[in-house]
Amino acid sequence: MQGDTASQAATLGVAGERPSTGPLVEARKLTKVHPARGGAAALVAVDGIDFRLERGEAFGFLGPNGAGKSSTMRMIACVSPPTSGTLRMLGMDAATDGSAIRARIGVVPQDDSLDAALTVRENLLVYGRYFGLSRATVRERSDKLLDFARLEDKADQRVETLSGGMRRRLTIARSLINDPELLLLDEPTTGLDPQARHVLWERLFQLKSQGVTLILTTHYMDEAEQLCDRLVIMDGGRIVAEGSPRSLIDAHVTREVLELRFADADREKATDVVLALAPGPVCQRVDVLPDRLLVYADDGDDALAVVNAAGLEPLTALVRRASLEDVFLTLTGRSLVE
Ligand SMILES: Nc1ncnc2c1ncn2[C@@H]1O[C@H](COP(=O)(O)OP(=O)(O)O)[C@@H](O)[C@H]1O
Ligand SMILES: [Mg+2]
């Protein structure tokens, strides 16, 4: 599928602007203010963020609902102009070269915009024609993409008959019709069951291994951990941390987390006792959640021994590796998924 990228670039006259070293996307002080409308005041959805990514990376925006992820993605997709700041992509300026950029990227929006009345194959054909591709090229690519999305046997069914996971795969297939160098995925698996998510992840891995640069948003920390080489954590329109999943965990939390649940009658007293254990030689920090306590420790079993030695008897005690969810909680005091 990568075959004619070079000729595409040559046609657009941008080959010379594609150094293998410089960033593929670079945003500086990127800002989006949604203007006041109706009774609602103007809203700063993206508040002066900086990020850059290199060709071949899988880059993520992780954050809760309302963090500004979709507003950012719509600017990168060149469908929503930045209010201020600069956004350079593929050697061009998103503010002025939107159509040339759009020809070379693929976009999977947060909400599927498939034509439900058309068949699976027709959706690919119609979309391909938007890019001015020849009928023969679109047919050939559609066949390959149906295979890639594992939708060959659904090709002649109408989209309205597909499951959510199949629709998402079709939207991804559709976004690849112009053989993009960069693929944007806004919450690719939100609302899908675990099985459907895993199928999608596997397809995205395959794209990544073929050299397609991925930018995705998610509020699922496991998705970010699985798919992203590097990510930024967003909250309230700002970037609060940046790095690889591993480096973010290493920088902001301990190696392990002990999750404790207590009976209602014991909870208040137990919370006081556990809070008093940190910071200490074993327990570094404690977060109090509505239903449980999180004890951050490099060794969760040692932490549990300390808790038991303090005379506490939790209903359940679970030791797990620290995750990006813990990083988010540590940085913002809130959970990613409410
Ligand atoms: N078109 C719009 N007009 C006005 N406000 C918007 C619009 N799109 C998003 N917002 C607001 O901007 C903020 C960020 O939204 P969004 O970018 O969709 O975040 P996320 O994708 O992280 O959930 C939210 O408060 C949302 O209500
Ligand atoms: Mg969104």
Domain chopping of the chain, boundaries: 5-249, 254-321
**CATH code for 254-321?**
3.30.70.920
**Distance from C-alpha of 183 to C-alpha of 180, rounded to nearest angstrom:** 7
Q: Which atom of ligand 1 is nearest to the CA of 61?
A: 22
The number of beta carbons lying within 10 Å of the beta carbon of residue 15 is 13
Whether the CB of 63 sits within 6 Å of ligand 1? yes
Tell me the per-residue pLDDT of 198-225, one tens digit each, with 9 for 90 and over.
989 999 999 999 999 999 999 999 999 9
Say how far residue 183 (Cα) sits from the centre of its chain: 12
pLDDT in tens, 108-164: 999 988 999 999 999 999 999 999 999 999 999 999 999 999 999 999 999 999 999
> Does a cis peptide bond (omega within 30 degrees of 0) precede residue 180?
no
- Would the CB of 64 count as within 6 Å of ligand 1? no
109 lines ligand 1 (CB under 6 A): no
State the pLDDT confidence band at 21, using cuts at 50, 70 and 90.
low
Going by DSSP bridges, is the β-strand pair 92-93/84-89 parallel, antiparallel, or unpaired? antiparallel
Mean pLDDT for the chain overall: 92
Query: What beta strand segments (E) does the chain contain?
Result: 25-34, 43-53, 58-62, 84-89, 92-93, 105-108, 182-186, 213-218, 230-235, 238-243, 256-261, 285-288, 293-297, 316-321
Confidence tier at 338 by pLDDT (50, 70, 90): low
Q: Which residues surround ligand 2, an ion (CB under 5 A)?
A: 69-70, 110
pLDDT in tens, 286-312: 999 999 999 999 999 999 999 999 999
Ligand (nearest to CA of 80): 1
Helix (H) or strand (E) holding 137: helix 135-148
Nearest listed ligand to the Cα of residue 79:
1
Homologous superfamily, domain 5-249: P-loop containing nucleotide triphosphate hydrolases (3.40.50.300)
E-state strands within 54-118? 58-62, 84-89, 92-93, 105-108
Q: Which two tokens stand for residue 118?
A: 């058309």
What are the Cα distances from residue 191, in Å, to 59, 98, 111? 21, 30, 11
- If one residue of 69, 70, 111, 235 were mutated to test the ligand 1 pocket, choosing by the most ligand atoms within 8 A of its CB, it would be 70
pLDDT number for residue 333:
87
Q: Is 65 in the pocket of ligand 1 (CB under 6 A)?
A: yes
Name which residue sits closest to atom 26 of ligand 1, judged by CA.
66
Place 18 in a pLDDT band, splitting at 50, 70 and 90.
very low
What's the rounded Cα separation, in Å, for the pair 286 and 260? Answer: 10
The per-residue pLDDT for 335 is 82
Percent of the chain predicted with pLDDT > 90: 86
Contact residues for 21 (Cβ-Cβ < 8 A; gap 6+): none
Residue 233 CB–ligand 1 contact under 6 Å: no
pLDDT for the residue numbered 1 = 43
Q: Is 80 in the pocket of ligand 1 (CB under 6 A)?
A: no
Cβ of 142 closer than 6 Å to ligand 1, yes or no, is no
- Residue among 207, 208, 237, 232 at smallest CA distance from 218: 232
Higher pLDDT, 162 or 6: 162
